[in-house]
Structure 1
Amino acid sequence: KLKPASGTPELLRYRYFLHYAEGTLMPLLFMKLVFGRLPSRVPWFMKPVARAISAGADKSLLNPQIGTAFMFLESELSQREWFAGSEFSAADIQMSFPLEASAARSPLFKQLPKLSAFVERIHARPAYKRALEKGGGYEMLK
């Protein structure tokens, strides 16, 4: 039910986005989180160096790569409602967490209407609401 039929273009997109979430997007978001916290986790005399390292990583690597990823995903969702195609799939479940985290943390995310609408559709799903009721809510790190 959560996987497209064999031999379809949707199955290829399903496999791609199933792995894109954890293999491409989450490592970038995790590095952004780590580098963002780095300056506050070092001794006082190292803070200027840590801030420079963090700012350099953001400017030269993380912000451009995350921006590229967001634009790619925005483009994909401009062609179809869900990542694999017209039907909700496990790929959408995988993509939901990094995109929820991005919605909570990234100012750029608010400028991406298709990604924002995707997160809203995920939040509106009855299964998502039941999962939160059963497991309790969670809070994204700011």
Structure 2
Amino acid sequence: MFTVHHLTQSRSQRIVWLLELTNVEYQIVPYARDRETNLAPNELKKIHPLGAAPVLVHNDTVLAESGAICEYILQQTSTTQDTSTQKSGLLPPREQQAYIDVQFWSHFAEGSFAPPLVASLVLSKVKVKAPWLIRPIAIKLADAIMGAYYGKVIARNLAFIENHLQSNTWFVGDSITLADVQMSFGMERVYNAGMISAFPTMCAYVERLLAEPSFQQAKRKIEDAEASLE
């Protein structure tokens, strides 16, 4: 049995989707964000010293970091002694170019795609939450930072993804792979924020993602788990 320690509105939803795709038994332990800081509660530190989600517990293994968790799940659910997880096709055989492509997008999700999006979210909150006496200065500073760096990086990343998806149904070819799992959270967020309304191919991708039965099932299970927090 896999146990996912899940924080509300967080990237840990990707782990739940991956477990749905691998068709294994799992449970979700939900945590609400701290009302003051919007960060993970201290209870998560009892599970892993980082005190951040997701955390996966399986037998005697306690693992943090989405990329490491995803690789561990695929290793544990493989039906053969190789690394292909052929029963699901989530990770192609190592000798194929598709394997390299999956690795690229899986790392791109956390290495290039997510950081500037998180930075832009933080800067937007600075503009709203700064004390009113310095708010005009805070707004100008946040806008300057976005204009000088993060805005340009986000625009570059979105154009890159749009171009790639024009020749791919999913991130690597015509079937769902680990690349889609890793990219799903960020893609859904930029879609909901209206950031990709000018990118029809990306919008179509996210709409396919949202319509995917396994993704919908993962969402329902997360909602049911989070309902216990109310």
Which of the two has greater strand per residue?
2
1:63 aligns to 2:151 (yes or no)? yes
In structure 2, the residue corresponding to 1:74 is in which secondary structure? helix
**Separation in structure 2 between the aligned mates of residue 4 and residue 112 of structure 1, nearest angstrom:** 28
Q: Which amino acid in 1 is paired with 2:167?
A: Q
- Give 2:219's aligned residue: 132
- Quote the sequence identity (%): 27
**Separation in structure 1 between the aligned mates of residue 154 and residue 146 of structure 2, nearest angstrom:** 10
Give the number of equivalent residue pairs: 137
Alignment of 1:1-142 (within 5 A): 1=88, 2-107=90-195, 109-136=196-223
1:86 positional shift: 2.3
1:41 positional shift: 2.0
CA RMSD of aligned residues (A): 1.5
Greater RCO, 1 or 2 (C-alpha within 8 Å, sep 6+): 1
**Separation in structure 2 between the aligned mates of residue 52 and residue 72 of structure 1, nearest angstrom:** 28
1:120 positional shift: 0.8
**Separation in structure 2 between the aligned mates of residue 57 and residue 103 of structure 1, nearest angstrom:** 23
**Separation in structure 2 between the aligned mates of residue 133 and residue 47 of structure 1, nearest angstrom:** 40
Structure 1, unaligned runs of 5 or more: none
1:42 positional shift: 2.1
**Separation in structure 2 between the aligned mates of residue 12 and residue 85 of structure 1, nearest angstrom:** 12
1:91 positional shift: 0.8
Which of the two has greater helix per residue?
1
1:92 positional shift: 0.3
Q: Which has the larger radius of gyration?
A: 2
1:19 positional shift: 0.9
**Separation in structure 2 between the aligned mates of residue 106 and residue 120 of structure 1, nearest angstrom:** 13
TM-score, structure 1 normalization? 0.90
- Give 2:79's aligned residue: none
